[in-house]
Structure 1
Amino acid sequence: MEIQSSRLLRKVLIGATGSALALTSALAANYEDTMPLETVKPAPNLEEVLPHPEQREEAMAKLAEFESRTGKRPNILVYLMDDVGWGDLGVYGGGVAVGAPTPNMDALARDGLMLTSAYSQPSSSPTRATLLTGQLPVRHGILRPTLYNEPGGLTNAVTLAQLLSDAGYVTQAVGKWHMGENPGSQPQNVGFDDFSGFLSVSDLYTEWRDPYFYPEIATSEERTEMIREWAFEKYWVHAEKGGTIEQVKEIDIEVSSHLDEYWKDYSIEFIEKMADSDQPFFLYHCTRGAHFDNYPRDEYEGSSPAKQVYKDTIVELDDILGELVAALERTGQLENTLIFIASDNGPEMESWPDSAYSPFRGAKGSTWEGGVRVPAIFYWKGMIEPGRASDGLFDIADIFNTCLTLAGATDSIPTDRFIDGVDQTSFLLAEEGLSNRKYIYYWLMSYFSAVRVAEYKYVQFAESDSGEGIVNPGGFTGYIMAFPYYHLYNLYLDPKEEHNVSIRKLVFTDLFLEAMKKHIDTFLEYPPVVEIITGH
C-alpha cells in the first residue's frame, strides 16, 4: 500500500467531482440479516455472539499460520482520534467534499475493512475506558469526561494493556489519556510499560490562556496565577511502568500546536525500537486533534481547502497516520501489525465551526447516531482481505476481546465481572467475514437509552437536541427526554432519526423487549458500579 502526504495529493484531489464515490467504488460490501439469527453465550460473564463457526475456523487457521511464519503474535496499533466525525473521512463521504482530504485513511480503508456501523460511547473518557476494559461505562464507572483534577475510574479495572503485557507484549501509550489524573488511573499503573502524553483534554490546558475564550483570566495576571496554583496537571508528562509521572513541558497554546507532531515522533521512535524485538507490541496512540481548541502549527495552518483550523488539523492527523504506517513499512513490521483507526465519539458541534461533520442526528454527548457512530477502519497487510466494507455491528468494546484472541490470551479474560465486548476475530480475518455482534446497547450516562438490532433502533431515553438552552444540535447542553411510548427508527431509511415508526412496526416490539431484558439481567448477576435507570 502506498502512503502519501495529503499535501502532495491535494492538487489532484481538490476540484475532483464525485471524489467520495470514487474512493468507495473499490470497496465490496457484504451483508447479513441478523434479526432472525440466534445468539449463543460463550461464557456466563460474556456478551452473546452470533456464531460463524466456519469463518471462525478459517480465521484461527490464518492466525496460526501467521504465528508459525513469523514466530510471534501480531503487533497492534490503535490510532484513536479525538472528536473526529463519521463523515470527516473521504471514504465516508467527507474528505475533499468537506474541505479536508484524508488520502491515507482512505487508502487504508480501500486496502482493509471499513465499518459503517461502528459505535463508541457518547464522549471521550467513557469510550477510552470501554476500549481498554471491554466494559460499558456503567460497569467501569467513567460516565462522562473527567475534568480538572478529577479522579478516574481505572483503579480496580483489568485493562487490555495489563493482559497483553502479561502475554508478553510491550505496551506503549502515547498522547491523550483522559481517564483520570489520580495515580491509580494513570497509564503506567494500569498495564502500560511507558507513557508520553497528557492526562486530561486539550481545552483544559489552553482555554484559560486564550484571551478570545477567557479574557477575564488571560488578561488578568492575578487570575492567571490563581489558575496556575490550582492542582490540576498542566504538563505533557512521561512515566514508566510502576513509576511516577515526570513533567516534560508545560502546555501552553504554542506547545499545544506541536503536540501531535511530538507524539508522532515518539511513536515512530517506539516502532523503530521494536523492529528487532522478539516481543510483539501494543501501541495505543491517541491524538490531541481534533478536539477543540485547534491551533495548527505553522506548517499546517491554512493547509486544508477549507482554510479553517479544524480542517487543517484533520489534514495533519491524516499525514501523521501516513507517517506511522510508513515507519512500520520501513522497519519491516507492516505485515506483522493490525492497525485500527477510529474516533472516540461523534463530532463536537457546540464549538462550531471548530467542529466535525456528521450525516446523522445529534453529536458528541448524545446517544443519537451522530453522538456514537464513528469511523472505524481495520488494516492488516496480507491478513485482512482488502477492499471490504461492512455494515455489521461493531462496538469499540470489541477491541478488548479481539486483541486478546490475537494475542492468544483469551484465558486471561477476567471471570469476576461482565465483559460487554465481543470477539470479532473472524469478522476481521475470514475472507468474507461477518460481524459476531447482534446488539448495540446505548447508554447515556446511567440511563439505558436504546438498543439496535439490524437496521432498527428502539429508543426509550434520549438527549434533547432542540429547545431552550441548546447551543447547537447535540452536545452537553440538552436534557433527558423519556419517551412514555418507545420510539423506533429505521436507520437505513432514516439516519437522521426523525420519523418514529413504532406504531407501524409493533410486530418487532417483543424482539426488542427480549434483547433489553437479556441485557438488564446481566446487571443482576454482575451489579453495575453506579445506579442505573433502565426504563420500560
Structure 2
Amino acid sequence: MYRVFLTFIAVFFLGCNGPIKTSVVGDRPPNILFILVDDLGKEWVSDYGAEDIVTPNIDKLAASGMQFNNVYSMPQCTPSRVTLLTGQYPFRHGWVNHWDVPRWGGGAHFDETVNPSLVQEMRRAGYKTCVAGKWQIDDFRVEPDALTRAGFDEFCMWTGYEAGVEPSAERYWDPYIFTKEGSSTYTDAFGPDVFRDFIIQFMKDNKKEPMFIYYPMVLTHTPFVDTPDESANNNLGKHKAMVRYTDKIVGELMEALKGNQLLDNTMVVFTTDNGTTGAITGGYKGRKIKGGKASTVEAGICEPFIISWPGKVKANQTSDALIDFTDMLPTFIDVAGAASTNKWTQHNASQIIDGKSFKNVLLDSTESAREWILGMGGGNNARLTANGVENQYNFRDRVLRNKKYKLYISSNRAPEKFFDLKVDPYEEHNIIDSLNTKERTTNFERLKQVLESFPIKDNDPKYQSNPDQEWDVEITAESERWKI
C-alpha cells in the first residue's frame, strides 16, 4: 500500500474541527434523502420512456420536481459509490475497479483518514446521519466502527458477502444485517423491508434535527428473487417484480416524510449506481436496450436522476444540465449551508474535489457549472500485490461528453470513438473519421483538450492497510510490474 502524504491548508478559522453553524434561509437546513438504487437503467423507469414497466411512485417524484437527462455515474458499484462519497474521480481516489472488500479483503477498505468524506462534513454541518442498505467497501468483521468513522450516527446494513460466512450471502430473504448490535440473520424477513423500516424509524426519532439519510438499496441487484408482493418463474419476471417493489418503497418513504411533517423541508434525490445487468433487456422508446452495467455506453452510465424539493424546486421540470457523481459531495454540502471549505475539517478542505455544486441548477433552473462529464472504471481489473490492491491499467479507458458529443479514450490515452448523441443516442455511428464540419472538429478538440488535464497515471486505491485476515485473497501480482 503506498503511503499518502497530505498537504494541509495553512489558514483555518479557530475551532475548525468542531461543529459549525450553517447559514441557510429558514429555520433550519433541509433534510436530504438520497436514494441510490442498485443496477437499474433508464429503460426501467417509465417516466424516462420504459415500455415494459410502470413506476408510478418514481414518476410522481419526477413530476413533483426536476428530472435530469445528462447525469453520469461510473459503470459499476465500487467506483460509483466511492466517487459520490469523495467528490473525486476514480483516477484520483483510486477505486477504479470493483473490489468487493468483505469477499476479497487483502487489507483494502474505504479509509476516511486519507480520502474526502461527504458524510463527515454533513454531520459537522449539524446533520443527524443515517445509512441503510449496501456498503461493501468495508468489512465490518475487521472494522465494526467503519460506518461511525465515515460519519454515520446510525446504520443498518447488509454486510456484503463475507468470505467464509455463508449466511452473509443473503441480502433479500433471511438477510444478514449489521447494526450497532452486531451481525445476524433476520429470519423470514425481506431485507428491503428491514432497511425501509429502519429509515422510517430514523425519521421519526430525529425529525427535530436536520437529517442526511443515505439509502443505497440492495434492489435491484441480482440474484433475481420473488418479492413479498409477487412471484415469477423466470429472471425477467423476477426483475420486474423487484423494480416494482423498488417503486413501492419510494412511495412508502415519501408517505413517511409526509406523515412526519418532513416533506416540505426535504430534498429527495433518486438515482442509480450504474446501468441494469446485461442479463436483462428492456423496451425503451421503441427499442430493446440490453442492460449496460460495467460498460461506458450510455445505458451503463447515463442514469435516471430525479430531485424533488418542495418550495425550492419547481414541479414538472426537465433539465439537460451536465452532472456527474463527483458533484454529489459539493452539492449536498452546499445545500447544508457549508459550501465554503473554510467550514470543512482541515483534512477534507485540503483535498482536491473534482465535483461542482449544482444547487443553482435546482433553485434557478440554470445550466450547471460543467462543460463536460466523465465515466470510467468497473470490472474486476485489479489484483492484490504485496503493496496492496492495484489497478491493472496505469491509465484506464474512459469517456467524456458534453450535451451533444461523446469521446471514448483508450488506455493508451488516445481518442478512439466519437459520437453525436443528439442524432445518434444509441452510439451506432462512430464519426471519429468524419470530422468534416466545424462543429464536429471544435467539439472533438475541446473534449480532447480535457484529456490533457488528467494525470499521466491513475492512482491505486488509497488506504492504510488493515491487518491480514485468513480469508484474504492471495497475492497474485508483482507490484507495479504487472500493470499495463
Q: C-alpha deviations, 1:381-405, integer Å up to 9, x for none?
A: 1110111011221112211111111
1:120 is matched by which residue type in structure 2? S
2:192 is matched by which residue type in structure 1? D
Of 330, 333, 345 in structure 2, the residue corresponding to residue 404 of structure 1 is 333
Residues in 2 aligned to 1:488 and 1:460: alpha-carbon distance in whole angstroms: 9
2:111 is matched by which residue type in structure 1? L
Q: C-alpha deviations, 1:217-264, integer Å up to 9, x for none?
A: xxxxxxxxx76499999931013xxxxx7113268xx65xx0001111
Change in 2 beyond 3 A, CA 1:122/1:397: same
Tell me how far 1:517 sits from its aligned partner: 4.1
Of 355, 366, 369 in structure 2, the residue corresponding to residue 436 of structure 1 is 369
Change in 2 beyond 3 A, CA 1:263/1:232: closer
Change in 2 beyond 3 A, CA 1:333/1:230: closer
Tell me how far 1:513 sits from its aligned partner: 4.3
1:281 is matched by which residue type in structure 2? M
Tell me how far 1:152 sits from its aligned partner: 2.4
Matched ranges for 1:45-444 at <5 A: 67-69=24-26, 71-94=27-50, 97-98=51-52, 100-147=53-100, 148-150=103-105, 151-155=108-112, 156-181=114-139, 182-183=142-143, 186-200=146-160, 204=161, 228=166, 235-239=176-180, 246-249=182-185, 255=189, 258-275=190-207, 277=208, 279-302=209-232, 308-349=237-278, 351-352=279-280, 363-412=292-341, 414-430=348-364, 432-444=365-377
Residues in 1 aligned to 2:289 and 2:224: alpha-carbon distance in whole angstroms: 23
Change in 2 beyond 3 A, CA 1:268/1:513: same
Change in 2 beyond 3 A, CA 1:184/1:498: farther
Residues in 2 aligned to 1:513 and 1:362: alpha-carbon distance in whole angstroms: 31
Change in 2 beyond 3 A, CA 1:310/1:326: same
Residues in 1 aligned to 2:124 and 2:251: alpha-carbon distance in whole angstroms: 30
Q: C-alpha deviations, 1:312-370, integer Å up to 9, x for none?
A: 01111111111111111111110110000000001111x347x8979667711111111
Tell me how far 1:434 sits from its aligned partner: 2.1
Tell me how far 1:288 sits from its aligned partner: 1.2
- Classify the secondary structure of the residue corresponding to 1:503: coil
Residues in 2 aligned to 1:117 and 1:359: alpha-carbon distance in whole angstroms: 20
Q: C-alpha deviations, 1:62-109, integer Å up to 9, x for none?
A: x97xx443x111110001100011111111111xx21x3210100111
- Classify the secondary structure of the residue corresponding to 1:142: coil
Q: List alignment gaps of at least 5 residues for structure 2.
A: 1-7, 9-21, 379-394, 462-479
Tell me how far 1:297 sits from its aligned partner: 3.0
Q: C-alpha deviations, 1:1-33, integer Å up to 9, x for none?
A: xxxxxxxxxxxxxxxxxxxxxxxxxxxxxxxxx
Tell me how far 1:487 sits from its aligned partner: 1.6
Match of 2:470 in 1: none
Residues in 2 aligned to 1:498 and 1:236: alpha-carbon distance in whole angstroms: 44
* Range that drifts further, 333-342 or 150-159: 150-159
Contact 1:198 1:235 in 2 (8 A): yes
2:204 is matched by which residue type in structure 1? E
Contact 2:41 2:291 in 1 (8 A): no
TM-score by length of 1: 0.69
Contact 2:88 2:352 in 1 (8 A): yes
- Classify the secondary structure of the residue corresponding to 2:459: coil
Q: C-alpha deviations, 1:390-435, integer Å up to 9, x for none?
A: 12211122111111111111233534332111110110111x3222
Match of 2:466 in 1: none
Residues in 2 aligned to 1:249 and 1:292: alpha-carbon distance in whole angstroms: 19
Contact 1:140 1:153 in 2 (8 A): no
TM-score by length of 2: 0.76
Match of 1:493 in 2: 423
Name the % identity. Answer: 27
Q: C-alpha deviations, 1:255-300, integer Å up to 9, x for none?
A: 5xx000111111111111122x2x2110001111100013223323
Residues in 1 aligned to 2:220 and 2:356: alpha-carbon distance in whole angstroms: 29
Q: RMSD in angstroms over aligned alpha carbons?
A: 3.4
Residues in 1 aligned to 2:79 and 2:198: alpha-carbon distance in whole angstroms: 26
1:318 is matched by which residue type in structure 2? D
Residues in 2 aligned to 1:269 and 1:228: alpha-carbon distance in whole angstroms: 29
- Classify the secondary structure of the residue corresponding to 1:523: coil
Match of 1:458 in 2: 407
Q: C-alpha deviations, 1:451-505, integer Å up to 9, x for none?
A: 11221011123xxxxxxxxxxxxxxxxxx8x796632101111122110112222
Highest RCO, 1 vs 2 (Cα 8 Å, sep ≥ 6) = 2
Paired residue total: 408
